[in-house]
Structure 1
Amino acid sequence: MKHKLTKGLSFLLIAIVMVTTIIGQPLSAKAAGPDVQAESAILVDAETGKILFSKNPDIALPPASMTKMMTEYLVWEAIENGKISWNTTTQISDYAYSISANNSFSGVGLTQSKDYTVQQLYDAMAINSDNATSIALAELIAGSEGEFVKMMNAKAKEMGLPDYKFVNSTGLANSDLGENYPKGTEQDASNRLSARSTALLAYNLVNDYPKALTISSVPSAEFDGQTIRNWNWMLPHDPETASSLQQFYYKGIDGLKTGHTDLAGYCFAGTAERNDQRYISVVMKTESVEARFQQTARLMDYGFNNFDQKELFAKGYQLENKSTLPIAKGKEDNVQIATNNSFVVPVKGEQAKNYNLEYHLDKDKLNKDGELTAPIKKGEKVGTAELVFNGETDYGYISAGDSKTTVDLVAQDTVEKDNWFMLTLGAIADFFTGLFSTVVDTVKGWF
Structure 2
Amino acid sequence: MLSGAALSGVLLLAGTGVLLLPVQAAEAATSSKAGTKTSKTSSKTTATRTAKPAPRSPRKVAARAAAREVAVVVPPKPSFGQMYGLHDTEDPLDLKSSVALVLDQDTNEVLFSKNPQAVLPIASITKLMTALLVVEAKQDLDEKITITDDDKDTEKFTSSRLAVGTTLTRGELLHLALMSSENRAAHALGRNYPGGLETFVAAMNTKAQLLGMGDTHYVEPTGLSSRNQSSARDLAVLVKTAHQFPLIRELSTSPEYTVALGRRQVRFGTTNGLVRKSDWDIGLQKTGFINEAGQCLVMQAQMAGRKLIMVFLDSAGKYSRIGDAERVRKWLLGTTSPIGGPASALTAATAATAVPTPTAAVALTPAVK
Matched, 1:197 2:251: no
Alignment of structure 1 residues 95-174 onto 2, 5 Å? 95-96=150-151, 98-99=152-153, 104-112=157-165, 115-173=167-225
CA contact (8 A) 1:124 1:223 kept: no
CA contact (8 A) 2:125 2:223 kept: yes
1:293 maps onto 2:307 in alignment: no
Deviation at 1:302, TM superposition (A): 3.0
Matched to 1:62, the amino acid is P
Q: Are positions 1:74 and 2:136 aligned together? A: no
Matched, 1:273 2:326: no
Aligned-pair CA distance for 1:218: 1.2
Residue in structure 2 matched with residue 45 of structure 1 by the alignment: 104
Residue identity in the other structure for 1:269: V
In the other structure, the counterpart of 1:209 is 245
Equivalent in 300, 303, 308 of residue 332 of structure 2 = 303
Whichever residue aligns with residue 147 of structure 2, its letter is I
SS of the aligned residue for 1:157 comes to helix
> For 1:365-409, what per-residue CA distance to the aligned partner results, in whole angstroms no more than 9, with x for missing partners?
xxxxxxxxxxxxxxxxxxxxxxxxxxx9699xxxxxxxxxxxxxx
Q: Looking at secondary structure, tell me which structure has more helix per residue.
A: 1
Counterparts of 2:108 and 2:163, CA distance in 1: 39
Q: Say which structure, 1 or 2, has more relative contact order (CA 8 Å, 6+ apart).
A: 2
Q: What does residue range 348-387 of structure 1 map to in structure 2 within 5 Å?
A: 349-350=341-342
Distance 1:219 1:54, change over 3 A: same
Deviations 1:43-88 (A, max 9, x none): 0212222221110011111000011110011111011xxxx12212
Aligned amino acid, residue 153 of structure 2:
I
How far the C-alpha of 1:348 sits from its partner, in A, is 5.4
- Does residue 219 of the first structure (1) align with residue 272 of the second (2)? no
C-alpha distance 307-44 of structure 1, shift in aligned 2 (>3 A):
farther
> Whose radius of gyration is greater, 1 or 2?
2
TM-fit CA distance, 1:143: 3.1
Q: Give the Cα separation in 2 of the matches to 1:86 and 1:275.
A: 36
* Structure 2 letter corresponding to 1:266: Q
Gaps of 5+ in 2: 1-90, 345-349, 354-369
Q: What is the identity percentage for the equivalent residue pairs of Structure 1 and Structure 2? A: 27
CA change 1:351–1:292 in 2 (3 A) is closer
Post-superposition Cα deviations, 1:126-179, rounded to whole Å, max 9, x if no partner, equal: 111001111111111233222111001000000111311111100002xxxxxx
Deviation at 1:275, TM superposition (A): 5.8
Question: In the aligned structure 2, how far is the partner of 1:253 from the partner of 1:292?
Answer: 15
Contact 1:64 1:191 in 2 (8 A): yes
Give the secondary-structure state (helix, strand or coil) at the position aligned to 2:271.
coil
Question: Judging changes above 3 Å, is the alpha-carbon distance between structure 1 residues 280 and 161 closer, same or farther for their aligned structure 2 residues?
Answer: same
Q: Count residues with an aligned counterpart.
A: 256
Please report the TM-score for the alignment, with normalisation by the length of structure 1. Answer: 0.52
Relative to structure 1, the CA distance from residue 90 to residue 211 in structure 2 (aligned partners, 3 Å threshold; closer, same or farther) is closer
Aligned counterpart in structure 1 of residue 149 of structure 2, from 94, 98, 105: 94
CA contact (8 A) 1:279 1:300 kept: no
